[in-house]
Structure 1
Amino acid sequence: MSTNTNAKFILIVDDNSTNLSVLSEALSGAGFRFRVAMDGESALTLVERNHPELILLDVQMPGIDGFETCRRLKENPATKSIPIIFTTALADIESKAKGFALGAVDYIPKPFDQAEVIARVKVHLQLKHLTESLEEQVRDRTTALQKAQVQLVQQEKLSSLGEMIAGIGHELNNPINFIVSNIEPLQEHITGISEILHLYQQEYARPSPKLKDAIEDLDLEFVLKDMAKILESLTLGAEMIEKISTSLRTFSRSDSETKSLANLHECLDSTLMILQHRLKGQGDRPQIQVFRAYGSLPSVLCYPGQMNQVFMNILANAIDALDEAIVQGKMQERVPQIKITTKITSEERIVIQIADNGTGIPESIQERLFEPMFTTKPVSKGTGLGLAIAHQIVVEKHNGTLSINSQLGEGTVFVIEIPVENI
């Protein structure tokens, strides 16, 4: 018998030395490694340390009998898949039914026929290996299907979102140009009319009673000053709409087959602009403050549209987390905040941290956040694909990493890291 503690082996559990001798001789002659235990307690301890491939388990033993030993092994998720063959002199149907109900795969009657023992052991080992192979294939196929689904959803979402936003940006472009191009001549006209009115007032210092009443009713001096302020407001509004249009066009940049150089700060700013309506205060919910701690970054070779989607998914999740914390009354002593930090490392890698000061994410959930279809949100609020898509874009499309660091009660930080040169 091999002394290698990591080698696969068959465990023989029997309190009778003759039975142990017969089974040991049969397994050894067939080339199997094996170990022995004289009672149920010893068997459970040995299995806990090193899982066997199969267990030959006597039913009638002092202390913990075979049935109870089997029950405990099958209740343990770590050992429930180990095949158990009962070895017993009990031939009644009730005992056999009880053993199968507990999870045993077979019975070998006593006294033993060595050829039968080896035949049954080989059959159940083969069935175990086939089952494991099938389960592995199912896992691989499931992973591949999930990956394909994520890719399809990502492409569809990115395409639909890009087309929609590009369309909105295009529709905004014409009226914006119309407004902006007319502001300057309107300013000149208002200035000219104001000057002529002042000249009239100087040359006709005594207007007729009717004209005087009209000037007083209109409050001409106030109107002339207010028109200038209104024009300033129109100019400011047009500039803001122009920035929104620019942000929309930046966000909706279509990805070609080749990567292009992009300013990631512009990508972040355009995403924040699109999410502006969700950052504003609403009713009793205070405004979510956004702090930018941007470092000096070079242009990055990437898929800008896909990186925008990463930023959108992570920032939207941060806003959702803060909204939920506020609704649950867990932000009463804190102002909701999102902080975005960027830097470049000495290894020429871009690091982007997006942090919120919400309630944090439990560690047990953190491990599954990037799994396709996993979500902590209600059915109508999330698909479980946002972070999975973001992870796929960063890791597979940009040779980077996407990680999470969260402490309950303190908040969550998502860390994106990609190389400057994505060849």
Structure 2
Amino acid sequence: MTTTPDRLGPEQLKTLFLFEALGDKQLAWLAEQGSVERTPAGSDVYCEGEPATCFYILLSGTVAMTRLLHGDQVEVNRTDQRGVYAGATQAYLGDRVEQVYPNSLRAITDCEFFVVPAGEFAGAMHRWFPMAVHLLEGLFFGVRQQNTIMGERERLLALGSLSAGLTHELNNPAAAAVRATSALRDRVAGMRHKLALIADGRLDTRQLHELVELQDAAIKRLASAPELSALQASDAEDELTDWLEDHGVNGSWELAPTLIAGGVDVEWLGTVVETVGEDRLEASVRWLSYTLDTELLMGEIDDAVTRISGLVGAAKQYSQLDRAPQQTVDVHALLDATLTMLHAKIPGGVRVVKEYDRTLPQIQAYGAELNQVWTNLIVNSLDAMAGSGTLSIRTQWDGTERLLVEIGDTGAGIPDEIRPRIFEPFFTTKPVGEGTGLGLDISYRIVVNKHHGDIRVESTPGDTRFTVCLPVALSHPGDASVPD
């Protein structure tokens, strides 16, 4: 910017609508503090994010105000109206907020401004309009507090929904483990009883050892038992039932399913007959059936406990409760944890497709808050698909120092007329009571303000994709909470 030390007199300042109600002493003070500065066409007056040092009033020319949005400078206003103002508009708040320019101002034509240093202008506001300043301060901090409360409510609602889903997911394997444990207790008692009948003195040592070896062999057959279709299993059970009935085994229809599940067939049962004889066959078969049933039940318990452990691990990964707020994270682990937490919310008609680039490095990030981003984007995608479609999650390298996480859906898409507003706080297309309009706003602030990344959206009917760009390393430490 090029400047000249020109000044305006009190009478000239009075022609500006912002100062027309000021008294002579106030106008004289402004004339002494401010100066006239000129900016040639095509030059920046100030840039977004720079320290806000001056308050600008347009005297002549045309200016354009822009905001940085998803990596692009978006023009939000263009005017040639004399007296419009910009720059350090929040200087009256002092050091209670970070004093930076909230936008960029560019001269479209040669422009002339009346410029007042931010500190002097703020002091004048407090001296001349104390009640107005109090009202403005209350409005500013009230809105910020409201945003914080609504943001917390959004997070709590999401957490409550996820907790309900997690409870449901945990209940199924827990109930399965309880049922299997109860059945296992009965089977072990029955096995002890049958063993007493077999070994009541009528089996010699050799036969008892052979029966134990058959038991071990049955367990091995169970481990390698082929997966049978429903029709194959039914046919095999009918054949085995007939064989058992022919050999005088009572309740053969009850034993056959367990024996078939354990890989036992007619030929193998022939070796049992050779070992224990026909008179002890039923007790031996029931004992072997208890053995197989016990192994199957222990397998169910193992699967259930493994599932519970996996869910607890996913919840731990999702919440990052045992981690520092900022740490080195694997985005794939975060995405998988989020999908696990959201499993109960994913309809049966939605297919989840994951395309992960496993060569991507780990990054410095706030893991729990990134999980909140994934949650917001995935839930929005599920809502857009209304129960059926494809949810796609892709990761890739952008060729520089950032990795990309793309979350896409095959929903109806985002209309062009509302796409520029989707990141605005409290903007939502959902019915009243079903959405706060803060999900994408919170996601944007987490990605952009806290991680110094970017979040973009491309949408056509049947193909909507949100792309989150994250730097590998945080260049500046973030705050403990998402900035306003």
Letter paired with 1:212: G
Asked if 2 retains the 8 angstrom alpha-carbon contact of 1:8 and 1:52, the reply is no
Task: Work out the CA distance in 1 between the residues paired with 2:245 and 2:384.
Answer: 66
Shift of 1:345: 2.8
Aligned to 1:292: 354
Please give the per-residue CA displacement for 1:102-140, whole angstroms capped at 9, x wherever unaligned: xxxxxxxxxxxxxxxxxxxxxxxxxxxx9x999987885
Shift of 1:196: 5.0
Please give the per-residue CA displacement for 1:158-190, whole angstroms capped at 9, x wherever unaligned: 887899899999999999999999999999x99
TM-score (normalised: structure 2): 0.46
Gaps of 5+ in 2: 1-11, 17-57, 61-77, 85-128, 193-210, 219-242, 264-291, 478-484
Gaps of 5+ in 1: 1-6, 12-32, 36-47, 55-129, 200-206, 282-286, 327-334
Letter paired with 1:270: A
Task: Work out the CA distance in 1 between the residues paired with 2:136 and 2:400.
Answer: 38
How many residue pairs were aligned? 285
Task: Work out the CA distance in 2 between the residues paired with 1:266 and 1:171.
Answer: 24
Aligned to 1:250: 317
Aligned to 1:268: 335
**Paired residues for 1:258-337 under 5 Å:** 258-281=325-348, 287-295=349-357, 296-323=359-386, 336-337=389-390
**Paired residues for 1:8-407 under 5 Å:** 50-52=80-82, 140-141=140-141, 144-149=144-149, 152-153=152-153, 195-196=214-215, 212-218=248-254, 220-226=255-261, 231=296, 234=300, 236-254=303-321, 258-281=325-348, 287-295=349-357, 296-323=359-386, 336-407=389-460
Task: Return closer, same or farther for 1:405/1:138 CA change in 2, 3 Å cut-off.
Answer: farther
Task: Work out the CA distance in 2 between the residues paired with 1:208 and 1:312.
Answer: 56
Task: Work out the CA distance in 1 between the residues paired with 2:315 and 2:83.
Answer: 60
Task: Return closer, same or farther for 1:194/1:337 CA change in 2, 3 Å cut-off.
Answer: farther
Asked if 1 retains the 8 angstrom alpha-carbon contact of 2:174 and 2:304, the reply is no
Asked if 2 retains the 8 angstrom alpha-carbon contact of 1:301 and 1:420, the reply is yes
Task: Return closer, same or farther for 1:366/1:214 CA change in 2, 3 Å cut-off.
Answer: same
> Which deviates more from structure 2 when the two are superposed, residues 209-218 or residues 409-418?
209-218
Task: Work out the CA distance in 2 between the residues paired with 1:151 and 1:255.
Answer: 23
Shift of 1:358: 0.9
Asked if 1 retains the 8 angstrom alpha-carbon contact of 2:372 and 2:443, the reply is yes
Aligned to 1:419: 471
Task: Return closer, same or farther for 1:134/1:415 CA change in 2, 3 Å cut-off.
Answer: farther
Asked if 2 retains the 8 angstrom alpha-carbon contact of 1:398 and 1:418, the reply is yes
Shift of 1:299: 1.6
Secondary structure of the residue aligned to 1:367 is: helix
TM-score (normalised: structure 1): 0.52
Secondary structure of the residue aligned to 2:466 is: strand
Aligned to 2:91: none
Asked if 2 retains the 8 angstrom alpha-carbon contact of 1:267 and 1:304, the reply is yes
Shift of 1:360: 0.7
Task: Return closer, same or farther for 1:361/1:217 CA change in 2, 3 Å cut-off.
Answer: closer
Asked if 2 retains the 8 angstrom alpha-carbon contact of 1:399 and 1:418, the reply is yes
Asked if 1 retains the 8 angstrom alpha-carbon contact of 2:363 and 2:472, the reply is yes
Task: Return closer, same or farther for 1:145/1:171 CA change in 2, 3 Å cut-off.
Answer: same
Aligned to 2:206: none
Secondary structure of the residue aligned to 2:418 is: helix
Shift of 1:364: 2.5
Shift of 1:280: 3.4
Task: Work out the CA distance in 2 between the residues paired with 1:169 and 1:241.
Answer: 8
Secondary structure of the residue aligned to 2:250 is: helix
> Which deviates more from structure 2 when the two are superposed, residues 209-218 or residues 368-377?
209-218
What root-mean-square deviation, in Å, do the aligned CA atoms of Structure 1 and Structure 2 show?
5.2
Shift of 1:379: 1.8
Asked if 2 retains the 8 angstrom alpha-carbon contact of 1:169 and 1:245, the reply is no
Shift of 1:288: 0.7
> Which deviates more from structure 2 when the two are superposed, residues 152-161 or residues 165-174?
165-174
Please give the per-residue CA displacement for 1:227-263, whole angstroms capped at 9, x wherever unaligned: 5797297255554444333222211222766411111
Task: Work out the CA distance in 1 between the residues paired with 2:441 and 2:167.
Answer: 27
Asked if 1 retains the 8 angstrom alpha-carbon contact of 2:425 and 2:441, the reply is yes
Shift of 1:351: 0.9
Letter paired with 1:254: L
Shift of 1:266: 1.1
Task: Work out the CA distance in 1 between the residues paired with 2:184 and 2:401.
Answer: 46
Task: Return closer, same or farther for 1:208/1:151 CA change in 2, 3 Å cut-off.
Answer: closer
Identity of aligned residues (%): 23
Task: Return closer, same or farther for 1:135/1:346 CA change in 2, 3 Å cut-off.
Answer: farther
Secondary structure of the residue aligned to 1:370 is: coil
Task: Work out the CA distance in 1 between the residues paired with 2:333 and 2:367.
Answer: 10
Secondary structure of the residue aligned to 2:421 is: coil
Task: Work out the CA distance in 2 between the residues paired with 1:391 and 1:290.
Answer: 24
Asked if 1 retains the 8 angstrom alpha-carbon contact of 2:401 and 2:472, the reply is yes
Task: Return closer, same or farther for 1:176/1:262 CA change in 2, 3 Å cut-off.
Answer: farther
Task: Return closer, same or farther for 1:174/1:402 CA change in 2, 3 Å cut-off.
Answer: same
Shift of 1:376: 1.0
